[in-house]
A and B are shown apart, each in its own frame.
Chain A
Amino acid sequence: MSEQESIRVLIPTPLRRFTGGEGRVTANGATVGELLAALDQRYPGLQAQICDEDGRIRRFVNVFVNGRNVRDEEGEETPLHAGDEVGVMPAMAGGRSAVRR
């Protein structure tokens, strides 16, 4: 990535401890996975909050590109373009029962 960092990333409150309190950062990546890896270079530990050991987005975390959940697109392989907005959002879930899918 030689061009200017051109993808806006929304960092939710629970993950701002990794970004020095920043709620909006910019980065680059040709795919969601690349973007998250690039962010982790700058904010170590952030990627592990979002992805498991195999690099898959965790079940109780969502990543949105321009408002679309990448689970409904190509997951970590979802392509990114200059001007895109990526949002990371830990799920809000719970209940009386054991976790179900």
Chain B
Amino acid sequence: MTGADPRDRSIGGDPPFVLPQGMREEIVAHARRDAPRECCGVIGGRGGRVGTLYPLTNLDQGTDFYRIDDAELFAVYREIDEGGGEIVAIYHSHPVSPAWPSPTDVRLAAWPDAHYLICSLAGPDRPDLRAFRIVDDQIREVALAD
């Protein structure tokens, strides 16, 4: 896990998750806007391909936990579902810790089909955005591609 750019690292198993540069920038901007609190949101799409990014409200007022506003999430889920899509990614930020799922992230990961994106601002000048699948309490990092 020492590569400067996640795209340079080969990560086993899963196909790369295609996340356009513009969306990465949106997530980083959201993380910076909400720091020191954690930000959160989802990306809708089809067949695993990203479509629309939805920044959502973190109900938790602290700096080390997130819970996506349940009513907002449901409204977005309905919109995506009615359009024939699915939630392809769930993102949140780690304002001061690495871009790796915490034990709490793993325990509460209820969406095994989605990619979990974590944006770390631990190095403020170099935000680190990484993608994971969390299935049956197991973490698999997934490479990001443009």
B87 in the interface (beta carbon within 8 A): yes
Q: How far is the CA of A60 from the CA of B59 in the complex (A)?
A: 13
CB distance from A10 to the nearest CB of B (A): 7
State which residues 46-86 of A face B: CB under 8 Å: 60-62, 64, 67, 69
Question: CB distance B86 to A94 under 8 Å?
Answer: no
- Known contacts A91-B70, A92-B40, A92-B73; decide if A97 and B64 are in contact (CB<8 Å): yes
Question: CB distance A94 to B87 under 8 Å?
Answer: no
Question: CB distance B105 to A95 under 8 Å?
Answer: yes
Q: How many contacting A-B pairs (Cβ < 8 A)?
A: 94
Q: Report the count of interface residues on B (CB-CB < 8 A).
A: 37
Residue of A13, A67, A92 near B75 (CB, 8 A) is A67
Question: CB distance A69 to B70 under 8 Å?
Answer: yes
A98 in the interface (beta carbon within 8 A): yes
Q: How far is the CA of A69 from the CA of B90 in the complex (A)?
A: 21
By beta carbon, the residue of chain A nearest B66 is: A95
Q: How far is the CA of A99 from the CA of B107 in the complex (A)?
A: 9
Question: CB distance A92 to B90 under 8 Å?
Answer: yes
Report which B residues bind A (CB closer than 8 A).
38, 40, 42, 60, 62, 64-68, 70-71, 73-75, 77-78, 81, 86-87, 90, 92, 94, 96-97, 101-102, 104-105, 107-114
A-B contact pairs, 20 of them (CB 8 A): A10-B81, A13-B111, A14-B113, A64-B71, A67-B75, A69-B71, A89-B73, A90-B110, A92-B42, A92-B68, A93-B68, A94-B65, A94-B102, A94-B108, A94-B109, A95-B65, A95-B66, A96-B97, A97-B64, A99-B108
